[in-house]
């Protein structure tokens, strides 16, 4: 049996692998796996059956190939979708589990090169809520388990991602603390209230320490979609009108709703939708906007545009203005997005998250005054309007953060002694 167990945080936007050294009972650190990489996957257009590129390499090659192949992002969000069963890439049929297995196999390979072993044991992270519908939530976990098996793991345990983040924070403290963990990624926002105590880290039974857990499928990707809708869709014809039977009618918002998720833009590349866009470019009062929309769809520029949107969101975590500059010759955009505008455009999303937080605390009968520490993790936790809501509820002095992108992975590996019976003391 190998002397290591992996913790894998397969995230909507970023993923990581961390190693638990069974013999030394500690995390095994190595620079080659120290950070996260983007949860991207790219199949170049080819007749060969080569495996896809993964992570940052996938993004680079996709851009180099002028976005001609098949690119996947945020496939974690599809896990609870029972209607998605398979897809065809380069004449090969892949189940969702097959696609995710490519990514998990990649992470396992990176860690195996560090350990020198073919490690078969893993703690997989999962959000507190894949779906509010229990059957869909179970489907998501079952698919993730099957993907881990296809990637080469034989002993698989799951840990809630916010609980993993709590255990990572526990390694930093010296005395007991009642902690609210907010884990905000690309696809989900999760909450956990847990009683932490560094003296209990090696104890097996920690269930009683977990006081409540919950969440909702609203997070960073939805903030990007909101920026697209409010700030950029007018560049693609939203709000335009056309004449019909002597009346001016506003163009329905269906097309523009669809381009607010970059991975849905490809579904506009069919004869019916392209004909509609072509006609609106000639009949509406904003022909230039629909010319840009046509270029966005036919030249597969959605991913590149959303990279600009995400960069602006990140900039606004520390600055008060950000550039939205896109230099494609058929889609020239040069906008300035202010923090005030961003906050206003995403206020409903922040409101949904905080409403869930309030309901979560109330349903668990936990008094906010009894929370000693609020630990925020995940890239979306850096959005200032969201952080401000935690400050308003708990006070700035109780907020802690750090390791926004790696704390979950660390906590998953730290969970290994609790989940594998043979390690129990």
Mark whether 168 and 282 lie in a shared domain: no
pLDDT confidence bin for 204, thresholds 50/70/90? low
Q: What is the mean pLDDT of residues 51-65?
A: 89
Q: Is residue 206 part of a domain?
A: no
Q: pLDDT by residue (tens digit) across 224-247?
A: 999 999 999 999 999 999 988 888
Give the pLDDT score at 424. 58
> What average pLDDT is seen over the chain?
91
Both 170 and 225 in one domain: the answer is no
**How many domains are contained in the chain?**
2
The residue segments making up the domain with residue 84 are: 4-175+404-423
Decide if 190 is inside a domain: no
Residue 277 has pLDDT above 80, yes or no: yes
- Whether residue 71 lies inside any domain: the answer is yes
pLDDT at position 35 is 86
Which of 345, 366, 391 is the endpoint of a domain? Answer: 345
pTM across the whole model: 0.84
pLDDT at 246: 82
pLDDT at 229: 98
Q: How confident is the model at residue 317 (pLDDT cuts 50, 70, 90)?
A: very high
Q: 49 and 147 in one domain?
A: yes
Are residue 20 and residue 164 in the same domain, yes or no?
Answer: yes
**Average pLDDT, integer, range 324-338:** 96
Which of 311, 345, 379 is the C-terminal boundary of a domain?
Answer: 345
Query: What CATH number did the domain enclosing 74 receive?
Result: 3.30.420.40
Residue 332 in domain? yes
123-137, 189-203, 220-234, 255-269, range with greatest mean pLDDT: 220-234
Report yes or no on 397 lying in a domain: no
Within-domain flag for 39? yes
Q: Check residue 404 and give its pLDDT.
A: 66
Q: Which pLDDT does position 288 carry in this prediction? A: 96
The residue-averaged pLDDT of 326-340 equals 97
Query: pLDDT tier at 119 (50, 70, 90 boundaries)?
Result: very high
| Assigned domain for 8 exists | yes
**In this predicted structure, what is the pLDDT of residue 337?**
98
pLDDT at 1: 62
Q: Are residues 102 and 236 in the same domain?
A: no
pLDDT at 422 exceeding the cut of 80: no
The residue-averaged pLDDT of 35-60 equals: 88
Q: pLDDT per residue over 73-112, tens digit each?
A: 889 989 999 888 889 888 889 999 999 999 999 999 999 9
**pLDDT at position 84, please?**
87
The secondary structure of the chain, three-state, reads: CCCEEEEEEECCCEEEEEEEECCCCEEECCHHHCCCEECEEEECCCCCCCCCEECHHHHHHHHHCCCCCEEEECHHHHCCCCCCCEEEECCEEEEHHHHHHHHHHHHHHHHHHHHCCCCCEEEEEECCCCCCCHHHHHHHHHHHHHHHHHCCCCEEEEEEHHHHHHHHHHCCCCCCEEEEEEEECCCCEEEEEEEECHHHCCCCCCHHHEEEEEEECCCHHHHHHHHHHHHHHHHHCCCCEEEECCEEEECCCHHHHHCCCHHHHHHHCCHHHHHHHHHHHHHECCHHHHHHHHHHHHCCCHHHHHHHHHHHHHHCCCCCEEEEEECCCCCCEEEEEEHHHHHHHCHHHHHHHHHHHHHHHHHCCCCHHHCCEEEEECHHHHCHHHHHHHHHHHCHHHEECCCCCCHHHHHHHHCHHHHCHHHCC
Q: Name the band, by pLDDT with cuts 50, 70 and 90, for residue 6.
A: very high
Of 345, 366, 381, which marks where a domain is finished?
345
Same domain, 48 and 144: yes
Q: Is residue 136 part of a domain?
A: yes
Residue 205: its pLDDT value, please? 67
């Amino acid at each position: 049996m190998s002397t290591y167990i992996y913790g894998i945080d397969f995230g909507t936007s970023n993923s990581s692998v961390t190693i638990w050294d069974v013999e030394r009972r500690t995390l095994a650190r190595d620079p080659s796996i120290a950070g996260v990489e983007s949860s991207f996957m790219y199949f170049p257009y080819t007749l060969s059956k080569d495996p896809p590129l993964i992570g940052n390499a996938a993004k680079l090659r996709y851009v180099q190939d002028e976005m001609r192949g098949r690119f996947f992002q945020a496939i974690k969000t599809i896990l609870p979708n029972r209607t998605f069963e398979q897809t065809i890439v380069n004449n090969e049929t892949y189940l969702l589990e097959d696609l995710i297995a490519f990514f998990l196999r990649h992470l396992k390979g990176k860690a195996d090169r560090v350990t020198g072993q073919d490690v078969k044991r893993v703690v997989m992270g999962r959000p507190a809520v894949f779906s509010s519908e229990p059957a869909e939530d179970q489907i998501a976990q079952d698919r993730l388990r099957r993907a881990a098996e296809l990637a080469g793991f034989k002993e698989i345990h799951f840990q809630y991602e916010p609980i993993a983040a709590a255990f990572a924070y526990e390694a930093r403290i010296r005395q007991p603390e009642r902690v609210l963990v907010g884990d905000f990624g690309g696809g989900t926002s999760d909450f956990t209230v847990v009683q932490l105590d560094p003296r209990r880290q090696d104890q097996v039974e920690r269930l009683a320490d977990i006081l409540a857990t919950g969440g909702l499928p609203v997070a960073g990707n939805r903030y990007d979609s909101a920026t697209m809708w409010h700030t950029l869709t007018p560049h693609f014809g939203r709000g335009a009108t056309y004449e019909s039977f002597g009346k001016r009618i506003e163009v329905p918002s269906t097309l523009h709703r669809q381009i607010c998720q970059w991975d849905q833009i490809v579904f506009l590349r069919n004869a019916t939708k392209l004909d509609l866009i072509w006609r609106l470019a000639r009949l509406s009062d904003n022909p230039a906007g629909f010319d840009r929309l046509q270029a966005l769809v036919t030249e597969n520029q959605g991913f590149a545009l959303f990279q600009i949107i995400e960069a602006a969101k990140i900039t606004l975590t520390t600055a008060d203005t950000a550039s939205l500059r896109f230099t494609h010759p058929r889609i020239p955009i040069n906008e300035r997005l202010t923090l005030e505008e961003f906050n206003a455009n995403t206020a409903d999303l922040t409101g949904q998250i905080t409403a869930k937080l309030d309901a979560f605390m109330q349903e668990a009968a936990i008094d906010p005054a009894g929370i000693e520490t609020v630990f925020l993790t995940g890239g979306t936790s850096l959005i200032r309007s969201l952080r401000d809501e935690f400050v308003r509820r708990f006070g700035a002095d109780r907020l802690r953060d750090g390791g926004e992108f790696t704390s979950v992975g660390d906590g998953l590996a730290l969970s290994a002694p609790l989940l594998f019976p043979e390690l129990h003391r």
